Amino acid sequence: MSQLGNEHKGTTTTFAYSNHEIERILGQGENIALNLGSSNKREPIEELLLLEKRILNLKLHRSTLAEYVRSNIIPRGLRVVNKPNLCTTIPLMNTRWQEISNKCSIDFMVLTIECLDVEVKELTEESLRVKAEVIDKLGATRVDAAMADHADTLTKLQTEITERKRRKFLRDRNDYDSGRVYSWKEERNRDRLNRRVEAPPLQTGNYQRSVEEPRKLNWQRDLRERYGGNSRLPRYTSKQYYNSLTLDSSAYTSTEDEESIPSKADHYFLGARPKEGPGAIGKKNPRYPIERDAYPQRYRNNSNNQRRNYN
């Protein structure tokens, strides 16, 4: 029987159901059969099919590794990626390191084949035991029909696995043909870097657009032509920006004044001066606070005093 702890102020109360109470509560209400499949136990015929698939997969893996060993080819997943850190300029060091790594990988494959034989033998014995149980339960006729269906499924599975392993074998053999066994990642990165270096330089400045080049927007093309290939707006401080707006307001309101300007090169767009040459602005520390105009202050106290004096 469950026990409720003595309720006292300042103490921790606990409660727990006993196994007898759990059974009583579960059985006192109305239960509807939902058939949710809460049991993880499979049918004997399904368990037999899973065992046959697993045995087939292990046999194909064992046969593939044996073919690698006979061909003296090491798959990528079993290659030793450790590299020498000392005496790398000595050819003997690199050669012996590669040979020792190859022998280590081959021994790994032979050990895996040996263990796969043991596991396949154990699973085969278990498969025969399950098959005997299925025959006793369902009969030989139903088991023969089920085994025929299993044969079709296993044939399709074998075709898929064999094709996948064949592609991997050709890939690994291509590594040996191209001389990229243990350093194929570095070679790939080096080839990618060489392609970047040999690529044609980017066009800057004024140039004629080719047919293959996508058409730029008008404002992007104008900015590039104005600033010599750089489509970004020039940087300037807020003070320079406001000074440039008030520099010559008539230049933006009167067409006659624009005609009187001797040269547009002497007028900097929005106050943006060149980085070098005459009119250049010295480089400032970006961490230095930006110069801003002082805010107008209102002297309310003085105005109040003046009003009092007038009164």
For the segment 168-203, what is each residue's pLDDT rounded down to a tens digit? 999 888 888 877 777 634 544 555 566 665 555 555
Distance CA 91, CA 93 (A): 5
DSSP class of residue 29 equals S
End-to-end CA distance of the chain: 94
- The torsion angles phi and psi of 176, rounded to 5 degrees, stand at -70, -40
**Residue 258 in this model has a pLDDT that exceeds 70:** no
Q: What is the pLDDT of residues 91-103, one digit of tens each?
A: 888 888 888 888 8
d(CA 191, CA 305): 83
What does the pLDDT average to over 73-85?
82
Confidence class of residue 235 from pLDDT cuts 50, 70 and 90? low
pLDDT in the model for residue 225: 59
pLDDT of amino acid 152: 86
Q: Average pLDDT for residues 197-212, to the nearest whole number?
A: 52
Q: How far apart are CA 171 and CA 193, in angstroms?
A: 23
What pLDDT was estimated at residue 136? 84
Distance CA 233, CA 220 (A): 10
Q: Please tell me the predicted confidence (pLDDT) of residue 177.
A: 83
**Mean pLDDT over the full length of the chain:** 72
d(CA 51, CA 57): 10
Label residue 118 by pLDDT band (50, 70, 90).
very high
Q: Per-residue pLDDT for 71 more than 80?
A: yes
How far is it, in rounded angstroms, from Cα 61 to Cα 165? 9
pTM of the model: 0.46
C-alpha–C-alpha distance, residues 143 and 51, integer Å: 15
Contact present, 58 and 119 (Cβ < 8 Å):
yes
Tally: H helices and E strands in the chain: 9, 0
Worst-scoring range by mean pLDDT, 79-83, 92-96, 246-250?
A: 246-250
